[in-house]
Chain A
């Protein structure tokens, strides 16, 4: 799969994080955004999302809780990534251990690392299909 066709959902309660993400990655892959976990689940149900990147510290539903719900949806071929300024946070670490999140991306986001991860994932999708 071409990386530009990969659908990436980015969840963060800070609007400027979403907007700057869109402006940085526009054209590189398909971007969906949500400011909270509820909206994120709705988007996931309706669109064929391949990658979900969620901030951890959010009001109402935390990033880790959101990714747990995503796991329960039993969607096929979805890559869950947690985005946090505190990678050593206990919840984040547990999520990584139990596989609720495949990666934890530090804040500020490393553009190249994210692209690398998505490329890798796109390649694995190709092999499967």
Chain B
């Protein structure tokens, strides 16, 4: 049987301890166009399914080592193969056996001796059903990602309204504080000069020195504080435009710094951030979205380091290295984030960009973070990839984002 698109040949595994049954059923199904594999006992059947999952399983009940019920139950316990439809094929005709088979997870039950046509129709039905449910599942997953993305966009838009209002409200007081400090500094300097000319005794001079010696530092501290607030407000500005679906000419390193600023409270005393920014041109992008990607990667890196600290004890040399570079020939910017936290297991590396895949505890991660990152980077015609040298203390994990420069 061919699939709807007429290109795929379906594979069926037949498990039966009777070689005659295998032969007859096998050649019959091959004639119909299926790829047929056989297993002579339950254990062989289970291992064969695990190694190379077929599209459907025809399972006898009475078999040595593992009987059909056991095989079926074992398959249903394995995440990767539990959805393969299993049709029981047995000479047992009692309701009791049928109920057992369905309870074990079978989708159908055919009694021997069987009508060839009946077997074929049942096989086709179950393969179609499986295929449709797979398609539905994919559609549902996509829908969930879209929904989450939509919620995220809404959140960002709300954040945008909030931050632009907030930034404006904060800018004014910073402005007059900043002006006033400068004015105050000028007058203080003058006052000190005048006092110097008025100081007549050594005691006066000494008093004046003591009183004024900390003044420059005090002014410096205030100015530093103003600069910090100014930088925070400035970096929040990128969120003020998310509601407008518009590309903005942005500096990638500034967007990384914004993400770092937001995460500052999570890494400050415990993780070293090493920045190797190489000069790169500004590029047209959705700044809030790109910053969200960096935020996500950095937040995962911090999680990985936290986890490593928890598992192997705190280490002072935990760090995140951020490197940016510009490839003039291809006109791309490469952004690399490397951490030495818990690492990523080889077995899950290929799944981390899949929607709903997470290794985090329930309620700690939706499994959508990197899926959304991946779709944002795709939207920008870029690529995102991951490398990790395994999962132990100080495994290196490295995420690389490559963005084409647009201006």
Contacts and interface: CB of A to CB of B under 8 A. Distances in A.
A23 B175 contact: no
Interface residues of A, number: 16
B167 interface: yes
Q: Is the interface of B mostly helix, strand, loop or mixed?
A: helix
B183 A14 contact: no
Contacts of B233: 85
A24 B177 CA distance: 11
A71 B182 CA distance: 32
Max chain A CB contacts within 10 Å: which of B175, B230, B233, B237? B175
Contact of A17 (B164, B168, B175): B175
Interface residues of B, number: 23
Contacts of A108: 171, 174-175, 177-179, 226, 230
A127 interface: no
Given A16-B173, A108-B171, 20 more contacts: A14-B172, A16-B172, A17-B175, A19-B176, A20-B179, A20-B180, A23-B183, A24-B180, A24-B182, A57-B168, A85-B171, A86-B164, A86-B237, A88-B241, A107-B171, A107-B172, A107-B175, A108-B179, A109-B175, A111-B182
Contact of A23 (B164, B179, B226, B248): B179
B171 A20 contact: no
B374 interface: no
Interface string A92-113: 0000000000000001110100
B397 interface: no
A21 interface: yes
A16 B180 CA distance: 9
A33 B233 CA distance: 26
A107 B226 CA distance: 11
